[in-house]
């Protein structure tokens, strides 16, 4: 039995939580995977945290309530710190990450160290990807690929075996914690699995100019990190 904690950061995702949790537990292979969800809520004013607590009465859900909007990367790091299971995962709360590939992602960790839900692998698709957003994503991914051998190093949908981050000081506060793991982590084999990246229905993107600035700052820091290891 594969024992998994999936970290899902939330901020104003009240309408998405019920369908998300139902989808996850409808898709997951319960004969081989024991999965818990850890919601990390940044004091959402729309009562996301309260709804997450109510879901814990029916599903294996834990909720971390934070004092304010402290950033997605720090939410993932806090979830990792609380989780005790040997497999760790990250998903978005806005229903963009199709749970149909969950079993493949998790089971592949029998043979790989990191499994990534990839928007750029052959067979993947992105619903209604507006030109401006697509262009920014492709530029960001192209830059990040210089530091990794991964087609989608900026994916927010991934699973790892815990030893990958053992003894690693993760510092990302922004959106791209997978990039930091790929740069600093202890691993040999990565698999990327294509999926349908769906457009959100009930919430809005949290990306802003501050997040783009933090991403550029990350890239510079990781270049120096790589140089230091060379």
In this structure, what CATH number is given to the domain that contains residue 199?
3.90.550.10
Identify the pLDDT of residue 76: 97
Identify the pLDDT of residue 49: 97
Of how many residues is the chain composed? 230
Identify the pLDDT of residue 143: 79
**Can you tell me the distance from the alpha carbon of 11 to that of 134, in angstroms, rounded to the nearest whole number?**
23
Residue ranges, the chain, pLDDT below 70: 129-137, 139, 200-213, 215, 223-224, 227-230
Alpha helices in the chain (DSSP H): 14-27, 48-55, 72-82, 102-107, 131-145, 177-184, 209-229
Identify the pLDDT of residue 160: 98
The number of domains in the chain is 1
In the numeric block, the tokens 């104003």 are attached to 12
Identify the pLDDT of residue 144: 82
pTM recorded for the entire structure: 0.90
Identify the pLDDT of residue 54: 98
Burial bucket for residue 120 (CB in 10 Å: 0-12, 13-18, 19+): buried
Identify the pLDDT of residue 212: 61
For 7-19, the DSSP string reads EEEESS-HHHHHH
Domain that holds residue 6: 2-229
Identify the pLDDT of residue 187: 97
Identify the pLDDT of residue 138: 73
């Amino acid at each position: 039995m594969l024992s998994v904690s999936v970290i899902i950061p939330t901020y104003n995702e009240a309408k998405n939580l019920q369908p998300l949790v139902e989808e996850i537990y409808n898709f997951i292979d319960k004969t081989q995977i024991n999965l818990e969800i850890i919601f990390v809520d940044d004091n959402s004013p729309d009562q996301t945290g309260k709804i997450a607590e109510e879901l814990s009465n029916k599903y294996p859900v834990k909720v971390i309530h934070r004092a304010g909007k402290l950033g997605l990367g720090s939410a993932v790091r806090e979830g990792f710190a609380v989780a005790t299971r040997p497999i760790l995962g990250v998903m978005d709360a806005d229903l963009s990450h199709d749970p149909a590939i969950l079993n493949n992602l998790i089971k592949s960790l029998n043979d790989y160290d990191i499994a990534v839900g990839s928007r750029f692998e052959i067979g993947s698709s992105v619903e209604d990807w507006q030109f401006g957003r697509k262009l920014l994503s492709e530029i960001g991914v192209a830059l990040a690929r210089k530091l990794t051998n991964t087609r989608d190093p900026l994916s927010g949908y991934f699973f790892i075996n815990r030893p990958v981050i053992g003894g690693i000081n993760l510092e990302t506060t922004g959106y791209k914690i997978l990039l930091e793991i790929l740069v600093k982590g202890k691993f040999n084999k990565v698999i990327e699995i294509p999926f349908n990246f769906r457009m959100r229905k009930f919430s809005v993107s949290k990306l802003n100019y501050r997040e783009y600035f933090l991403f550029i700052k990350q890239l510079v820091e990781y270049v120096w990190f790589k140089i230091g290891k060379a």
